Structure 1
Amino acid sequence: MKGVLLVNLGSPDSPEPKDVRKYLDEFLMDERVIDVPYFLRALLVKGIILNTRPKKSAKAYKKIWWEEGSPLIVLSKRLQNKVQEQVSVPVSLAMRYGNPSIEFGLKELHDKGVDEVLLIPLYPQFAMATTETILVLAEEIRKEQFPNMEFTIIPAFYKQPDYIRDLSNSIKTALDNFKSDYLLFSYHGVPERHIRKSDVTKSHCKIDGSCCNTPSKAHEFCYRHQCYETTKQVAAFLGLEEGKYSTSFQSRLGRDPWLQPYTDATIDGLAQRGIKNLAVVTPAFVSDCLETLEEIGMEAAESFEENGGEHFLSIPCLNDSEDWVKTMSRWIDQWAFQNQ
């Protein structure tokens, strides 16, 4: 029997410091998030970060928390429920960190008799700290607890025509009621070393401005290339004018070099050079979360205005929109009914 597991990033169980601390501990101790030897990672996370960051992060979570719970969890559940209404196979939901866990999601499917699972990481672009860590953990759990299960993995969908159309139309709809001078595509940042580690050719990725535009097998797993390609495809779909849009990266941590240009500096710079009406879209996420609602929708908006900007629009993620639900359901049906 076939079934589907949707997997998103995750969220604390509550915006209280103790729950945020537990969540950050699981998240930041992942060797594919902070990819240094265990001793150094533990020293950094448990000895430094967890002594200060939970309180700060808890304040941020409290600003965006809904009555129903974490926006990321609530929106992911809405997506799951709407997709389930349109497909004939069971659809479960899991988070890489926090609850519901991947183990819980697989058990839920197993208890329904599912032995063929379509695993869908809810990340358009592939990255070590997102897609890869999901696939590795899911495979470990499968081997240990559900050895008779088989996985089919949906690949990164950053340039799938259906996804590009849905993302583009969501941007167009948002801009219909906002006179934008500039559109910024802000993607979640990753350390530059993650890009090099994901290079299957071991030689292509140089992060020098040209390698992302030179065809290579490395692009199958290159987060930077896939982000720029998403921007390129959407810009073409919408007919965006050169010089009226660009790509940046947000949410960096620590002192190591991360992908640039940085979103915060880009937004401030746009305001300082005279852009008055700025729209920001966050295509690394399909569900609104702390990084989109607070970091962009609140912090970035405030900084933009402090630097001379006037009107700021944070464009919602695809969330549980009708078009996105139909696209996800179509992908699932195509898999569920193949070879029948």
Structure 2
Amino acid sequence: MQKESLKSKKGILLVNLGSPKSTSVPDVKEYLDEFLMDERVIDYRWIFRALLVRGIILRTRPPKSAEAYKTVWTDEGSPLIAITEKIQKKLQKLVDVPVEIGMRYAEPSIETGIRKLVEQGISEIVLFPLYPQYAMSTTETVIEKAEEVRKAKFPNIKINYVQPFYNRDIYINCLAESIKEKLPENFDALQFSYHGVPERHIYKTDPSNTCKIDDSNCINSQVESHNARCYRHQCFKTSEAVIEKLGIPKEKAIVSFQSRLGKDKWIEPYTDETLETIPSKGVKNLAIVCPAFVSDCLETLEEISVEGKEEFLHAGGENFHYIPCLNDEDRWIDVVKILCEERLNDFYLV
């Protein structure tokens, strides 16, 4: 009875990136303003960030982004939010605690998600940032925002955070099985395209202050304290583990990074440049997957499966096969359940 009483106070909040309310230019502009003005996305001092975002980017980019969103928008609205809602509904059937969703940007916000749980009598929340790898602009900003909201609005609740799971066997097995089912019979290479980040983000999140991005030892390092916040390391390790699980020769695997913004140096190699060069190296039949995302969104459905395909075919490629994200696959929901329950159980240990 006591355990059931404790359990009734617990809940789960799934947090994803977010999306504009609609494909209208004003809604897209509002979303981009909140997203790009986040100091963990564009990490300049506020005045310089404002000059860049509000003085330059938001004057030209919203109409272009709105047109891009129109190409992926569904009858249910934003694909990312619709998929996250499906994950929530499926997970709710598997657990006996309330499950809500929140978005780091726009609505439903993290504050909205926490409030919905609190209104149900929840005082202990497992918050799951839906990002396999740790990055300043993903996991870190979600945690910082949640803590800001908690301290300001809900000081009496406790939050346990699901940690990055880029190398967890249950996740690697899930991802590998999903990819295997969708791989074309004949392919020359499997490309892993991760969302890029500026190189300086890697240095800023390195607790050892010893990171050297051009050093291959970074990727192979076994020092966990160095790797816990190294996005680049974690991306390569995810790819390496999946390749091994699939039994694909290493020479048929490619790792690259997409979605760079501005003129700063971002981690390499770049996805667009890779797509434009590999056909001349004999890669005519390409399969590509985006493991930095668990839900399909603008960056996968438009940037990769449309723009990326055009770049590859224009450069001489013949067959381009985009492999969807895990989305609401049942095997992925099982992984989400396990990862959340681990943190739910941690409340009993406090």
**TM-score normalised to the size of structure 2?**
0.95
Does 2:84 correspond to 1:56?
no
Q: Deviation string for 1:56-109 (max 9, x for gaps)?
A: 111110111101100000001000110011100111100000110000000000
Q: What SS does the corresponding residue of 1:221 show, helix, strand or coil?
A: coil
Does 2:313 correspond to 1:296?
no
Which sits farther off after the overlay, 277-286 or 265-274?
265-274
Deviation (angstroms), 1:36? 0.6
Q: Deviation string for 1:12-39 (max 9, x for gaps)?
A: 0111111110000000000000001000
Q: What SS does the corresponding residue of 2:65 show, helix, strand or coil?
A: helix
Aligned residue among 3, 6, 25 for 2:11: 3
Aligned residue among 149, 156, 160 for 2:164: 156
Deviation (angstroms), 1:337? 4.5
Aligned to 2:211: 204
Does 2:202 correspond to 1:195?
yes
Aligned to 1:214: 221
- Measure, in 2, the Cα distance between the counterparts of 1:154 and 1:23: 26
Q: Deviation string for 1:86-134 (max 9, x for gaps)?
A: 1001111000001100000000000001111101000000000000000
Change (3 A) 1:171 1:49: same
Aligned residue among 183, 191, 210 for 1:184: 191
Q: Is the 8 A contact 2:131 2:294 kept in 1?
A: yes
Aligned residue among 245, 269, 274 for 1:266: 274
Once the two structures are superposed, the pairs formed by residues 248-327 of structure 1 within 5 Å of their partners are 248-327=256-335
Q: Which amino acid aligns with 2:210?
A: S
Aligned residue among 27, 34, 55 for 2:35: 27
Aligned residue among 117, 125, 130 for 1:117: 125
- Measure, in 1, the Cα distance between the counterparts of 2:264 and 2:343: 41
Deviation (angstroms), 1:162? 0.6
Deviation (angstroms), 1:274? 2.5
Q: What SS does the corresponding residue of 2:134 show, helix, strand or coil?
A: coil
Q: Which amino acid aligns with 2:218?
A: C
- Measure, in 2, the Cα distance between the counterparts of 1:274 and 1:225: 28
Q: Is the 8 A contact 2:32 2:58 kept in 1?
A: yes
Q: Which amino acid aligns with 1:204?
A: C
- Measure, in 2, the Cα distance between the counterparts of 1:26 and 1:306: 35
Q: Is the 8 A contact 2:161 2:343 kept in 1?
A: no
Q: Which amino acid aligns with 1:83?
A: L
Aligned to 1:247: 255
- Measure, in 2, the Cα distance between the counterparts of 1:239 and 1:141: 45
Deviation (angstroms), 1:246? 1.4
What is the CA RMSD across the aligned residues, in angstroms? Answer: 1.2
Q: Is the 8 A contact 1:195 1:205 kept in 2?
A: no
Q: Is the 8 A contact 1:10 1:73 kept in 2?
A: yes
Does 2:155 correspond to 1:147?
yes
- Measure, in 1, the Cα distance between the counterparts of 2:251 and 2:307: 25
- Measure, in 2, the Cα distance between the counterparts of 1:148 and 1:269: 55
Q: What SS does the corresponding residue of 2:156 show, helix, strand or coil?
A: coil
- Measure, in 2, the Cα distance between the counterparts of 1:52 and 1:178: 43
Q: Deviation string for 1:240-296 (max 9, x for gaps)?
A: 102101100000001010010000111111122231210000000000000000000
Change (3 A) 1:337 1:153: closer
Q: Deviation string for 1:151-193 (max 9, x for gaps)?
A: 1111100011110001001110001x44211100000000000
Aligned to 2:3: none
Q: Is the 8 A contact 1:199 1:205 kept in 2?
A: no
Aligned residue among 225, 229, 244 for 1:236: 244
- Measure, in 1, the Cα distance between the counterparts of 2:282 and 2:237: 27
Q: Is the 8 A contact 1:251 1:291 kept in 2?
A: yes
Aligned to 2:4: none
Aligned to 2:6: none
**TM-score normalised to the size of structure 1?**
0.97
- Measure, in 1, the Cα distance between the counterparts of 2:261 and 2:340: 36
- Measure, in 2, the Cα distance between the counterparts of 1:205 and 1:84: 43
- Measure, in 1, the Cα distance between the counterparts of 2:284 and 2:168: 33
